[in-house]
Structure 1
Amino acid sequence: MKTKEVVLTGNQAIARGFYEAGGLVAASYPGSPTVDIMESIKRNYDEIYSEFSTNEKVALEVAIGASFAGARAMASMKHVGVNIAADPLMTFTQTKINGGFLLVTGDDPGMSSSQNEQDNRIIGKFANMAILDPSNSQEAKDFTKIAFSLSEEYSTPFMLRITSRLCHSRSKVKLEKREERDITGFNGDLSDYCMVPPNTYKKQYVMKDRIEKLKQAAENMDINILEEGNNKDVLIITSGLVYNNLKELGLDISIYKLGMVYPLPIEKIKQLAKEYSKVIVIEEMMPFIENELKINGIDCEGKKYFSFTGELSTEDIEKGLFSAGVIDKLKYKENDEVKTVQRLPMFCSGCPHRPVFDILKKSRKKVIGDIGCYSLAALYPLEVLDTIISMGASIGILKGMTKALNMKDKGEPLVAVIGDGTFFHSGMPGMVNMLHQMEDGENMTIIILNNGTTAMTGGQHTASSGSYAEEDDMNVNMVKLINSMGFDRVKVVDQFKYKEAKNIINEEIKYPGLSIVITTRPCALKFKIKETHFYVDPKICIGCRSCVKTNCPPILMKEYEGFDKLKSSINSDMCVGCSVCAQVCPVGAIKRSE
């Protein structure tokens, strides 16, 4: 019977690999570039229990519990999500496992959708985890299955490290049948699962022993592949998607492509290195493989010729090899690159965040931002946010900044904004901490943008989504939750009632203490909100651009026949009828169509 082939993204291939491996429980928190792993499981594989958890730590713990019960389990998240999950992760890698366990991390070279560019191969080593690094969708599927087999053979969690480009790029994948697996149930020895001294002392040696055994096994692993060329001067060592970019150059050169990047087959590489005059490592971001080789006494070069940040394209690799003297001419030139028109990052039509940031911009107060769609408010043309660090950080930063300023009599009204998904993810601890050592006169305003979804990553649910969609099984009443924490001054506003919202927000900013404002409009894109569109009457419009300054995509200035001055206009196909533009117009030139 012929094997069926389909075209899959790297994310979809990992989901398929988990299915074929007999996976039972998968948990995640939505974060680009790995979102579609869980979305694909939810769409296609009913045999698997899957969830988007409250945050990455919880997702990891859900998967750990399933593994302890004997099920093959997977947690997936973007690279910075592993930071959130690090607390249980660093202890979990000490324990035995029952069912195979895989942690998928989506690294983001070039920071396409991230606040930093950390290299999670380093975290994998730090946590004493073996790390697999696929180079295409077929390998993403295969390596997922291999990881579960090795995880159970060596009783250790595995990391699958994938990058943004591979997450989203597509290639052919051969589909195979699912391997149905029973579970053993949890019958563990407490010394293997209760991580308290003196148990943990012994586990340090267990982890060391597991890595040593995997290092020996790596010497003969099929996923580490040597491609011999006729040029015996140089051996290139690489892994992941970089391998494909290197192959685009069509060089007759020896390449050792690593499938497992930690632990490395050191003895094999030592023997290979003796056969070549020079060893060059090509890898994106940190010199992880290069440093591992140097630690083990293998002379090599790498970051001397290749950037430590961003993606390494075929052109970048060619330039690096030219600088290293491996090739004597360049086939690609910089001016051969196709220049694309830059797109201005903007909120969607009808986005409920827009009126809030229009109000805050006009208030001229310092605003501490957080992670979500509303991070766009830091960029031109809004430029409202003054700081953005990490999920949930806005509330703690708000407190620390206020305390510091007040200590030197430099206090001023400060505002923090946070979305509902981010609030439930990691904002609640900071909110509870606000109760500690509060003082009268500390002027802080927290605005919770409750749009009912994790919008920036595709519209996954939050704990309050049920207030907007009856089919969602979570409907946490945010006002009751915050009141139960001990906060009394909580105002709820409909930001599409612009003048009313503006008055309330400005009133709370003036309040000499801590106040909380919760906005109530849902995400227009997720909930497909569309009302009768608005239009501009050019006879009334004075061209003041008040509507344009709300930065709504359908609105622009244009020439009307019979008028010398540019007037505002609204693209009726894009307008969803939110009415904010009409409310800020000082002369009533913007009207709702019949």
Structure 2
Amino acid sequence: MGIIITDKNKSHHFIKFKRNKINLGSGGMETSLKHKRVLTGNEAIARGFYEAGGTIAASYPGSPTVEVLEKLKEYKELYAEFSTNEKVALEVAIGGSFYGARSMAIMKHVGVNIALDPLMTFTQTPTNGGFLLVTGDDPGLASSQNEQDNRLLGKFANMGILDVADSQEAKDFTKKALEISEAFSAPMMLRITSRVCHSRSTVTVEERQEVKAKGINYDKEKFCMIPPGSIKAQIFMRERLNKLEEYAYTTDLNRLELKEDTDTLIITSGLVYYNLKELDPNASIWKLGLIYPISEKKAKEITSKFKKVIVIEEMMPFIENELKLMGIHCEGKKHFSFTGELDIQNIAEGLYEAGILPEKKVYAKRFVETVPRAPLFCTGCPHRPTFDLLKKSKAKVVIGDIGCYSLAMLFPFEQSNIIISMGASIGITKGLRKAMSKDDQDEPLVAVIGDGTFFHSGLSTFVNMLHRKEDKENITLIVLDNRTTAMTGGQPNASSGLYNERDDMKVGIKTLLESLGFDRVKEINQYDYKAAEKIFKEEIAYEGLSIIVANGPCALKYNMEKPHFYVDPNICISCRACIRTNCPPLRMIKYEGIEKLKSSIDKDMCVGCSVCAQVCPVNAIKSSKNIGREDEKVDN
């Protein structure tokens, strides 16, 4: 006997009638019984932190790990925030750990670069409350500017590293990592890849176990990292890793799956393990969950029983190199790519080349082929008119940055010559300008940076622009302020509170820049095409440093939905001025009774931003608010 209960996430759970107390908690439906849910890897990490009694979590939004913090914010028993950047997020989590509370910082792989300065010193200290750094690596560069393998950074920072294969492991390893962290006074890294972050699998869900914070440890020598304390910390780190290696000898995080009548061992970790299992090769498998440190004693005991040892891992030969440093002969990257994901076909080809599979087969693709579509700005995006104006301005050198506006590098705008990393556009522009000035080149330079990136890592670069500023050096800096971190799903930033009441930070970028000492800061409405065009011409022609703060709410985040526009084909002259703004609802079509192709607007896509109407030279584009719907001359 039992009942089916639907929780607030519309998940269904069959609950048997028992005497156990049922408690509907704030983090979804909780029971004293274990039950199952289908979760993404990201959701599972959040669940694991919640169940482990986690207290402090901080992140900066970046794919593939955005949803971890989004989910954590639903649990009222803990504190979770999107910080201004990854360094700050790490420091917030470090503060929680210093108080003895279980803490976690979450970021994409390149975010660890931003956080590396405090991380490299924090890992010298003994962990007071369990500490976990979650890094979302991106094999294949699904949403990133590089493919760095953060297992190398974890080792560099003297951290223990767990590698996640599916959602159940994502939850379990999160809890286990916090336990290990406290048992060995060691900060831990949880490495998860894009595919596991976003894929779903069944997870056993349990109750939260409250873990009381220990309070501050007042031993200054252990936590004030200046000589001579930091010198002693180096020895402490080494001893701590040695203890972790002893733990690696017995841990059930690593498991050996023996197959009879084979002299081949395959060593792997993460999602690659499941792709390998589908092939069912004639080999034993040593599946690693704790990938650093690896127990040298255990590795030698296991590998000594096999003639051939193959390591299969995505990206860098991390495990392979660790084994070779132990004097263990093995092969890996000799047969498998150093870049991209390793799917079943890739693994099969590598194992055939290594002589493990007897024949070369073609396996079904994991993905359904779809019609390719180039990425583009959303309908009504305020950045669209800005880059249309930049293209018309004939600015030859535009330095881009990381955000939605990175798409301006692509057709049809093609308005970014350089894109490197978050916040880099301003510093790069200064270096370019100084080098060009030395060569007597006075070509105007334009740099763009978004509001989220401005607060993330742009402020210090703007301050640096004031250093040795020359009056005649032509630089135009454009801050694209749509009041949200749009590219990762609309998380708040420091200016979001100016657009809505639920966000508590209300930093005005123009006011802030003027308070820093910039004397030429203009503010424009990106949707006011004519006024913006005038400002752009003036500032790009200005011989000196000028800043344009281009305002306009993210049409997607703030649900822009004004009366749609339509085209009167009898007025339209087919000049395509509206089409060149590259807004998705616009296209050229054949109207009945009119020979020439004329412009058209899909009323179901149009959000009423009005930019197309502003650029039309003959006023053929009109707002539907001025007439009855029955009179609209719309042909979609």
What TM-score, normalized to structure 2?
A: 0.92
Per-residue Cα deviation, 1:49-73 (whole angstroms, up to 9, x for no partner): 0000010000000000010001000
Q: Deviations over 1:373-424 (max 9, x none)?
A: 0001011221111110011001001110000001010121000000111000
Q: Which residue of 1 aligns with 2:203?
A: 173
Three-state SS of the structure 1 residue aligned to 2:479 is strand
* Counterpart contact for 1:232–1:275, Cα < 8 Å: no
Which of 50, 58, 74 is the matching residue for 1:19?
Answer: 50
Letter in 2 for 1:315: Q
Task: Give the 3-state SS of the residue equivalent to 2:523 in structure 1.
Answer: strand
Please say which of residues 563-572 and 461-470 is displaced more in the overlay: 563-572
For 1:60, what is the secondary structure of its paired residue?
helix
1:369 corresponds in structure 2 to 400
Residue type matched to 1:370 in 2?
D
Which residue in 2 is equivalent to 1:267?
Answer: 297
State whether structure 2 residue 491 is matched by structure 1 residue 464: no
Residue number in structure 1 paired with 2:11 = none
Kindly provide the CA deviation profile for residues 301-358 of structure 1, in whole angstroms up to 9, marking residues without a partner as x. Answer: 1111111001111111111111111112233258897432111111011100000000
Q: Distance in 2 between matches of 1:325 and 1:336?
A: 24
**Which of 108, 113, 132 is matched with 1:78 structurally?**
108
Rounded to whole Å, the distance in 2 between the matches of 1:273 and 1:86 is 35
1:56 aligns with 2:81: no
Counterpart position of 1:99 = 129
The aligned amino acid for 2:585 is: P
Q: Distance in 2 between matches of 1:494 and 1:156?
A: 50
Q: Which amino acid aligns with 2:553?
A: P
Asked if structure 1 preserves the Cα contact closer than 8 Å seen for 2:268 and 2:286, the reply is yes
Give the aligned partner of residue 25 of structure 2.
none
Q: Partners of 1:406 and 1:576 in 2: how far apart?
A: 44
SS of equivalent residue, structure 2 residue 207:
coil
Q: In 2, distance between residues paired with 1:242 and 1:184?
A: 39
Q: How many residues align?
A: 593
Gap change, CA 1:336 and 1:478, over 3 Å in 2: closer
Deviating more after overlay: 553-562 vs 103-112: 553-562
506, 515, 526: which one pairs with 2:557? 526
Counterpart in the other structure of 1:593? 624
Q: Does 1:569 align with 2:587?
A: no
In the TM superposition, what whole-angstrom CA distance separates every residue of 1:412-466 from its partner, at most 9, and x where no partner exists?
A: 1000000111000000000000110011101000100010000000100010001
Amino acid at match of 1:135: A
Determine if contact 1:449/1:518 at 8 Å carries over to the other structure: yes
Correspondence for 2:433: 402
| Conserved? CA contact 2:272–2:343, under 8 Å | yes
Q: Report matched runs for 1:428-577 at 5 Å.
A: 428-577=459-608
Map 1:73-472 to 2 at 5 A.
73-333=103-363, 338-365=368-395, 366-472=397-503
Corresponding letter in the other structure for 1:34: T
Tell me, yes or no, if the aligned pair for 1:232 and 1:277 is still in contact at 8 Å: no
Indicate if the aligned counterparts of 1:42 and 1:50 stay in contact, CA closer than 8 A.
yes
Aligned position for 1:65? 95
Q: What are the superposed Cα offsets for residues 482-533 of structure 1, whole Å, 9 maximum, x if unpaired?
A: 1110001110001111011011011101110000100111101111111000
Aligned to 2:27: none
Q: Tell me, what secondary structure is at the counterpart of 1:367?
A: strand
| Partner SS for 1:270 | helix
Give the letter aligned to residue 521 of structure 2: V
Taking structure 1 as reference, are residues 554 and 119 closer, same or farther at Cα in structure 2, changes over 3 Å only? same
2:124 alignment partner AA: Q
Residue identity opposite 2:233 in structure 1: K
- Letter aligned with residue 261 of structure 1: I
Determine the C-alpha separation between the residues in 2 that align with 1:302 and 1:188.
47
Which deviates more, 184-193 or 302-311?
184-193
Question: In the TM superposition, what whole-angstrom CA distance separates every residue of 1:530-587 from its partner, at most 9, and x where no partner exists?
Answer: 1000111122222222211111111112222222222211110110000111111122
1:180-206: per-residue Cα shift (whole Å, max 9, x none)?
A: 111121132101000001111111111
**Residue deviations 1:137-166 (CA, integer Å, cap 9, x gap):** 000000000001100011010000000000
* Maintained 8 Å contact 2:281/2:356: no
Separation in 1 of the partners of 2:365 and 2:34? Answer: 43
Percent identity between matched residues is: 64
* CA deviation profile, 1:225-273 (whole Å, cap 9, x unmatched): 1111124221100000111111111334211000011001222121221
- Partners of 1:330 and 1:537 in 2: how far apart? 61
Q: Which amino acid aligns with 1:177?
A: E
Which range is displaced more, 66-75 or 542-551?
A: 542-551
CA offset at residue 364 of structure 1? Answer: 1.6
Amino acid at match of 1:379: L
User: Contact between 2:34 and 2:206, CA under 8 Å: does it hold in 1?
Assistant: yes
Q: Secondary structure at the residue paired with 2:280?
A: coil
Query: AA paired with 2:527?
Result: F
Measure the CA separation in 1 of the matches of 2:277 and 2:612. 53
Distance in 2 of aligned mates of 1:168 and 1:335? 18
Q: Which amino acid aligns with 1:154?
A: F
Local SS of the residue matching 2:266: strand
- Residues in 1 aligned to 2:185 and 2:71: alpha-carbon distance in whole angstroms: 28
Distance, in Å, in 1 between the alignment partners of 2:266 and 2:394 is 55
2:70 aligned to which of 26, 31, 39: 39
CA distance in structure 1 between the partners assigned to 2:592 and 2:215 by the alignment: 76
What amino acid sits opposite 2:38 in the alignment? V
Is the partner of 1:385 in helix, strand or coil? Answer: coil
SS at match of 1:75: strand
**Distance in 1 between the 2:469 and 2:54 partners?**
48
Does the residue aligned with 2:215 lie in a helix, a strand or coil?
A: coil
Q: Decide which of 59, 69, 72 is 1:28's aligned counterpart.
A: 59
Distance of 1:8 and 1:249 partners within structure 2? 25
Contact 1:231 1:254 survives alignment (8 Å): no
Counterpart amino acid of residue 581 in structure 1: C
CA–CA distance in structure 1, aligned partners of residues 242 and 309 of structure 2: 24
Counterpart Cα distance in 1 of 2:35 and 2:227:
51
How many angstroms apart in 2 are the aligned matches of 1:261 and 1:463?
Answer: 38
Q: Match of 1:485, as an amino acid? A: L
Contact 2:262 2:282 in 1 (8 A): no
Matched residue SS, 1:238 = strand
AA of the residue aligned to 2:73: K
Task: Structure 2: give runs of 5+ residues left out of the alignment.
Answer: 1-17, 19-32, 626-636
Instruction: Single out whichever of 524-533 and 544-553 deviates more from structure 2.
Output: 544-553
With the length of structure 1 as denominator, give the TM-score of the two structures.
0.98
